[in-house]
Structure 1
Amino acid sequence: MNRLGGFLVRHSKLALFGFISLILLSSVWGFQSFGQLKAGGYENPYSDSTKVMDILTETYEESTPEVVIVVDFEDGVDAESSATSTNNLVEELRDVSGVDSVDSYYSLGRPASLISDDGNATYVFVDVKDDVTQATVAAGIADKFSGQYETAQVYVAGFATVTASINSVIEHDLARTEAIAVPLTIVLLVFVFGSLMASGLPLLVGGLAIIGSFFFVWVSTQFTDTSVFALNLITGLGLGLGIDYALLMVNRFREERASGKSVADATIRTVESAGRTVLFSGLTVAIVLASLFFFPQYFLKSFALGGVVVVLLSVAAALIALPAMLNLMGDRVNKWRIIKRDLTPKESGAWGNIARFVMKRPVSVLLVATLALGGLASLSVNAQFGQVDDRILPQSEPAAIASNVIRDRFTAKEGSPIEIILEGASDQQVEQYVLDLSALDHIVSVRSSVGFAADGAMLPQFGPGIETYANGDYQRVTAIHDIDSRSPEGVAITDAIRAIDTSDFEVLVGGSAAVYTDSQRGIEEQLPNALIWIVVSTLVLLFLFTGSVLLPIKAVLLNILSLGATIGFITWGFLDGSIRWLVGDFYVTGNIDTSSTVLIAVVAFGLSMDYELFLLSRIKEQHDAGASTEDSVANGLQRSGRIITAAALVLAFSFGAFATSGVTIMKALGLGIAFAILVDATIVRALLVPALMKLFGKANWWAPKWMKAIYKKVGLDH
């Protein structure tokens, strides 16, 4: 770090403008990523349900229709005028650029399962070509055909339509959020940093990190599906860490200048001390966010990519561009001061007094704070976890209205069938399997939508309304049910189907309910691996930073307690809509989104470690200088308390602005992370940490000799 600081002092202009130029060059490709991002990514690509989807696409040359249209008639679906209107609609849809094929209730033989419960509405299914942007085509269809069409009222739903709607809402939300949050954040930064010149530095760090991250997102879109939601994390985390790291570096620079060091020496010392904390903090946050790579869904993998990249670029900007700027600016960093008082950190003050107050009564403070956080955590006991669907949209969105029409008026879920592939089964085994399947609760009918064997001959019918069809090595069964696929009932019916005895042949169960089930199971199965990764890596890194065995364990346990309180708060707010008075209306599903909860927990844990390191770095510095535990904690909190609180307030505001989004999971993400940050910066850092460190005393810094030897050799504090 000393050599890095020296290089930056000698070559400040080269480092600053070279770094900026590299980021600007990358933006040529980075901004192209926006149109290539997707709103899905909740499926488990390694599951049976995905294998079924692949078989249907490759072997049967079928796919789930990207656009599902409901046509609603006053005279009922069997009226001649209804058939005429639908056929006219179908012909116009076939002429839409990007549409591959169109089928309707009438062209499919008028099956009863395609009629609404009141007999007035039916379906039109639109397949979109693979070589076009399906969401764009779907959005065009929705814009053109939604509303009155001849004798019908038309509602446009389907996966591609919902995706297009989510993309549009998020795009408008980001613009609105930035229009509100950025000016107010700048005002807050001016008061936090004390001068107009200094308040621009976090925008420099955050802006470079955010723009640079878009390039890596673009690279990702060239090889795999990438979620549009990653942009929200990149912007929120980039700005937040820019504030954190800039505040830490600027405060240290001011401190070193106040001690009499030259601008060059102050810059080098800032890189050595605060820069080391930034480096280690960034590594910790990045490693924690990398745990999202364990999960199979590209929704979470996209957040892992976006999070890791923006953290590392924030660190790079804070360690290269920012020190170079400080060296060039010198004391002009305090130019255009808004706060007239001395901006140099004080040796004593409110935060030191709070720490000493806590350490005089550590047991009482520890008990009260733990009970408070534990009480919040208990709110999550009755949480029901699920996956998101169209209901995350504002209920005024046409795609949400159309999806609710399907949900409310069609008992038979024709648009979300259970697709089953049998391999190695004889005709007699297939017959028995189909009869067993049709006997299950909530199965309305069992049939096929293809109808031909490999040789072109019709297969025999094995019961009323039951047909199976073969293609090569496979035989296919399609079951229609009457439940919501993306619900606990969807999991139950999937498990019931998979429990049917099929020991003599292989069965793959797919369809919407199975996709939902496999997605939930994918998260559940990988959650232990992610937790082990987070805990072990955090313990190792914190040991290398502190040389202590106890402090890393304390940090992990306090973070777990804080996360429990956050999940309890989210459960209280979103399970039954209790928080709608604050964040606006949203559809209450009775579930908490599993993926969003995992994301909130991981991001909040990483940011909590960020503040933990800010505090521990100053406490350890005091301890290494010979101060007692009590003085180290008080002086360390005094030196870092203002930084942590100010950074937390601005970061919480940045993420909290997402709560104004029309998309429910963004409301939960923004509010959850903001709540976790504020709890961590106040109750945890100001109360629990001083209380525990007072109780631990000299044990805070204990480690066995062999671990101390490792620390002295490779510890990142040296």
Structure 2
Amino acid sequence: MFRWRWLVISLWLAAGVVGLFAVPQVGSILRAGGFSADGIEAEQALARYEAAFGDVGAPIQIVFHHDTLRANEPEFVAQAMVALAPLSNLPEVTAVLPFWDQPAQVSPSGSTAYAMVTVDIEPEFAHHIVPALRENLGPTDLDVHVAGAAVFYADIQALSEADLQRSEAIGLPFALITLLLVFGSIPAAGIPVLAGGASVVVGLAAIWGVGQFTSFSIFALNVVTLVGLGLGADYSLFLVSRFREELADGRTTAEAVERTVATAGRAVVFSGLAVLTGLSSLMIFEFMMLRSIGVGGAIVVLIAMAAATTFVPAMLAVLGPRVNAWRIWRPRLGPRNGWGRLAHAVMRRPVPVFLGVTTFLVVLGLPFLHVRISAPDASVLTTDAPSRQAFDLLRTEFGEGHVAPLFLVSVFPEGPLSAEAIAAQHRLGRALKEDPRVARVRGLASVDDRITLPQYQLLYRDAPAIGDPYVRAIAGTLARGNTSVMIVEPSVASISPEVGELVAAIREYRDAEGLDLLVGGGGAGLTDFVDRLYTDFPKAVAIILSVTFVVLAILFRSIVLPLKAVLLNVLSLLASFGALVLVFQDGWLSNVLRFEPLGFIEATLPIILFALLFGLSMDYEVFLLSRVKEAYDEGHSNTDSVAIGLERSGSVITSAALVVIVVCLAFVTADIVLIKAVGLGAAIAVFVDAAIVRSLLVPATMRLLGRWNWWAPRWMSGTHRGLR
């Protein structure tokens, strides 16, 4: 590395310059959605519906509201016509279904109505047309909102990009200030910032390239940036600290670089593998949203590892002793040998420390026992986001269930208008209307409660010649071939537990009655999404735990140390999960953090945090135990090795954790609750891990385990001293 230092720096600078041109294009590859998968019933229901009725595309609602005018008044209709007229000129718009032809699109109060706009764009990219729709609406005195899934994702992308710029503007300067206080030298502090920035820029450019061949979710952008910035700075800090230590021991620049790469660089590789394992586990999920975070995260981790083991050593080789130049004043924190004294103090009373800290972490995690998991809707956005305002207006004016109704798609071999089919649909409709979780039902045999079953059968007996024009329109809308659809509007929000119970009840009724019926739509899709997520989550956990165990066993040539590390990491993460429930579900600190409590934890949050933080927390375990193992291999006892290892790494681990916490807290300023929660959850987990687990629980457990820390089968211990 020393010999090729200028070439390495040149290559990284070239990659950074190329990356700067690619980064602005990253938004073009981001896709909406990512919460569906083949094989779940809600998707099968949608496929059945589209096979019979045609592609639903990406419907967008243009919502009109006026405090005094009513939607059936000529002035209201005329104003709406003026607003809608320019949309037909957009080539992507295929149809506009106005509210004056569809009574169901007018609210019960009459003050709100919406037109349905269909566009000829894949649903994953439909959010790209939203700005054009907003710009092309004609002038009107009505309040106009644009609503729908595409609008939600358009706002998510806009807010994500704004959140990212804000987080970087806050995080990088504060990270630099933190590093200046840690190192007391401008060059030493600047290297981790450069490495972190390079990891993000080159990583996002690589994602843009990979995005030409695979899908990336809108939600992946900020999570991937947080990982790249945090790990890039984190790993670099460990190398810079070790390099300065080697220089202080009297080694030349070349020797110090070689020794740094061989020790801290090796630890970075194994630590990076742990993080890589965690994020790569997200690829086993069927949902594009999680897979893209896994792919993007893995790419950025590899680049952060490469930057730490090539770019950073090259910069250190060029600077040499000048890494300590341009000294600045910094406060001295704590007494000399403070970490060693702390380790000895803990190991003198390992049982009380172990029991006390473990109890504290378990208590922190207890709120997770009452966690409520749900999928996101527009409520994850701030109340001033345009799509959130439209969502709230529709929910208020039309009812909770109208925004995201359930649709029941049935197949009847004899046809949906046959007497037997009408009887089955009539029984189902009556059962649904009696359920308090249902607000209204639209179906072939649910037109009017005053109509009896024999009358429905008589109405539909001669389908082509149905006399009643309204019933004829209903039949044309809800029946096609041998397929019928029933629209069910719940009386509560689609993300509520009651809707999940309603979906389960409908499916139980279907099975009991022997109907060929599939349940899809809002609440069904959310229920199936969460169920499939947490069916696959144990597999991801098993992969993370087992691969991390194997990697650490290879690094430390021990069975006990990796097992202890895995168990302590799980305990640390559970404590942070408990804190997230208190904050984002129960609303603690919601005023301080500027968000509206959701009343639930977004379904992907525990999975993303477990995958990310298990590896990130393992960083500090790897660096601490690497120094402990060095001391043990030098001939020190188990107790002295722990004290020496903590003394050598304690301040560095604390400093690295502080930098990561600063970066994560910068993402807490995000307007999107999911990103805010990831930032806060990561900050809490890193704080608990570095301040409590590594400084107190690790020394206590290693003292209790004694020589068994180093036990390994003879075949894997090699030249290691093993038990003694």
Q: TM-score, normalised by structure 1?
A: 0.90
* Residue equivalent to 1:84: 78
- In the alignment, does 2:687 pair up with 1:696? no
Deviation at 1:64, TM superposition (A): 5.5
**1:394 maps to amino acid:** T
The answer as to whether partners of 2:109 and 2:397 remain within 8 angstroms in 1 is: yes
User: Residues 184-238 of structure 1, C-alpha deviation per residue, up to 9 Å, x if partnerless?
Assistant: 2211111212211111111222122112211332234323431223221222221
* 2:144 counterpart (154, 165, 171): 154
Q: CA RMSD in A?
A: 3.1
- For 1:387 and 1:469, the matched residues in 2 are separated by 28
Unaligned runs of 5+ in 1: 1-7
Structure 1 contact 435–463 (Cα < 8 Å) conserved: no
1:622 aligned residue (607, 628, 631)? 631
Output one character per residue of 1:537-573: Cα deviation in whole Å (capped at 9) or x when no partner: 1111111111111111111111111111111111111
Partner of 1:167: 157
| CA apart distance, 1:324 | 1.6
Q: What is the CA–CA distance in structure 1 between the aligned matches of 2:597 and 2:473, rounded to whole Å?
A: 36
Asked if residue 636 in structure 1 is aligned to residue 626 in structure 2, the reply is no
Residue in structure 1 matched with residue 410 of structure 2 by the alignment: 422
Query: Are the structure 2 counterparts of residues 511 and 409 from structure 1 closer, same or farther at C-alpha, using a change threshold of 3 Å?
Result: same
Instruction: Report the secondary structure of 1:149's partner residue.
Output: coil
Residue from 595, 601, 605 that aligns with 2:614: 605
Alignment of 1:236-635 (within 5 A): 236-339=226-329, 349-411=337-399, 413-423=401-411, 425-427=413-415, 428=418, 430-438=421-429, 439-440=431-432, 441=435, 442=438, 444-447=440-443, 467=475, 469=478, 471=480, 474-502=483-511, 506-584=516-594, 586-635=595-644
Distance 1:104 1:220, change over 3 A: farther
- How far has the Cα of 1:521 moved from its partner? 0.8
Identify the range of structure 1 (623-632 vs 60-69) with the bigger mean alpha-carbon deviation: 60-69
Residue 62 of structure 1: CA displacement? Answer: 3.2
From 205, 209, 221, the equivalent of 2:211 is 221
Q: Which amino acid aligns with 1:417?
A: P
Q: Which residue type is aligned with residue 540 of structure 2?
A: A
Q: What amino acid does structure 1 have at the position aligned with 2:159?
A: V
Q: Distance in 2 between matches of 1:621 and 1:102?
A: 71
Consecutive unaligned residues of structure 2, counting only runs of 5 or more, are 448-459
Counterpart position of 2:69: 75
Go from structure 1 to structure 2 and tell me whether the alpha carbon gap of 1:340 and 1:297 turns closer, same or farther (over 3 Å shift).
closer
Partners of 1:55 and 1:31 lie apart in 2 by 39
In structure 2, the partner of 1:191 is 181
Partner of residue 457, structure 2: none
Judging changes above 3 Å, is the alpha-carbon distance between structure 1 residues 644 and 412 closer, same or farther for their aligned structure 2 residues? closer
Shift of 1:32: 1.6
- Contact 1:293 1:300 (C-alpha < 8 Å) held by counterparts: yes
Give me the whole-angstrom Cα distance separating, in 2, the residues matched to 1:335 and 1:523. Answer: 52
Instruction: Identify if the C-alpha distance between structure 1 residues 483 and 69 changes in structure 2 by more than 3 Å, giving closer, same or farther.
Output: farther
Label 1:436 to 1:531 Cα distance change in 2 as closer, same or farther (>3 A). Answer: farther
C-alpha contact (below 8 Å) 1:604/1:673 kept by paired residues: yes
Deviation at 1:373, TM superposition (A): 1.0
What is the Cα deviation at residue 615 of structure 1?
0.5
Deviation at 1:389? 1.1
Deviation at 1:28, TM superposition (A): 4.2
Identify the range of structure 1 (198-207 vs 406-415) with the bigger mean alpha-carbon deviation: 406-415
Instruction: Tell me how far 1:594 sits from its aligned partner.
Output: 1.4
Q: 1:27 to 1:52 in 2, by over 3 A?
A: farther
Evaluate the alpha carbon distance shift between residue 103 and residue 522 of structure 1 in structure 2; reply closer, same or farther with a 3 A threshold. Answer: same
Distance 2:213 2:118 in 1: 24
The TM-score normalised by the length of structure 2 is 0.89
Q: CA deviation at 1:498?
A: 1.7
How far did 1:695 drift?
A: 0.5
Give the equivalent residue in structure 2 for 1:5: none
C-alpha distance after superposition, 1:365-414 (max 9, x if no partner): 11111111111111222221111111111112222111111112213734
Query: How far is the alpha carbon of 1:90 from its aligned partner?
Result: 3.0
Q: CA deviation at 1:145?
A: 4.6
Between 1:468-477 and 1:534-543, the stretch displaced more is 468-477
- Deviation per CA, 1:305-327, whole angstroms, max 9, x where unpaired? 12111111111111111112211
Which letter does structure 2 place at the counterpart of 1:542? L
- Displacement, 1:92? 2.9
Distance 1:11 1:412, change over 3 A: closer
Offset of residue 422 of structure 1:
3.0
- C-alpha change, 1:437 and 1:267, in structure 2 (3 Å) is same
Note if contact 1:102-1:124 (Cα within 8 Å) is conserved in structure 2.
yes
Deviations 1:74-132 (A, max 9, x none): 23222233333333333233234532221122233x2xx33323232222111222169
Which amino acid counterpart does residue 106 of structure 1 have in structure 2?
W
- Post-superposition Cα deviations, 1:492-519, rounded to whole Å, max 9, x if no partner, equal 2221222223576643221111111111
Q: Is the 8 A contact 1:418 1:480 kept in 2?
A: yes
Which range is displaced more, 201-210 or 89-98? Answer: 89-98
Q: Is the partner of 1:119 in helix, strand or coil?
A: coil
Are 1:120 and 2:116 matched, yes or no?
no
**Aligned mate of 1:129, from 120, 136, 153:** 120
Aligned pairs (5 A) from 1:35-54: 35-54=28-47
| Structure 2 CA distance for aligned equivalents of residues 124 and 64 of structure 1 | 15
1:705, distance to aligned residue in structure 2 (A): 2.5
For residues 481 and 56 of structure 1, the distance between their equivalents in structure 2, rounded to whole angstroms, comes to 20
How far has the Cα of 1:144 moved from its partner? 5.7
Q: Does structure 2 retain, via aligned residues, the 8 Å contact 1:27–1:214?
A: no
Residue type of the partner of 1:499?
E
Question: Which residue in 1 is equivalent to 2:683?
Answer: 674
After superposition, the Cα gap between the structure-2 partners of 1:342 and 1:500, relative to the gap in structure 1 and judged at 3 Å, is closer
Pair 1:117–1:65, CA change in 2 (3 A): farther
Q: 1:41, 1:299 within 8 Å by CA — same for their partners in 2?
A: yes
| Distance in 1 of aligned mates of 2:30 and 2:559 | 43
2:344 partner letter: R
Partners of 1:518 and 1:171 lie apart in 2 by: 30
Cross-structure match for 1:33: 26
- 1:90–1:103 CA contact under 8 A, matched in 2: no
Letter in 1 for 2:237: L
Query: Which stretch shows the higher mean deviation, 59-68 or 390-399?
Result: 59-68
Three-state SS of the structure 2 residue aligned to 1:42 is coil
- Cα offsets for 1:657-711 (capped at 9, x unmatched): 11111111122111111011000001100000000000000000012324436x9
Shift of 1:55: 4.2
Post-superposition Cα deviations, 1:164-193, rounded to whole Å, max 9, x if no partner, equal 222222222222222222222211111212
Per-residue deviation, 1:532: 0.7
Asked whether the equivalents of residues 45 and 297 of structure 1 are also in contact (C-alpha less than 8 Å), the reply is no
SS of the residue 2:115 aligns to: strand
Maintained 8 Å contact 1:387/1:516: yes
8 Å CA contact 1:30, 1:217 repeated in 2: no
Comparing 287-296 with 636-645, which one deviates more in the overlay?
Answer: 287-296
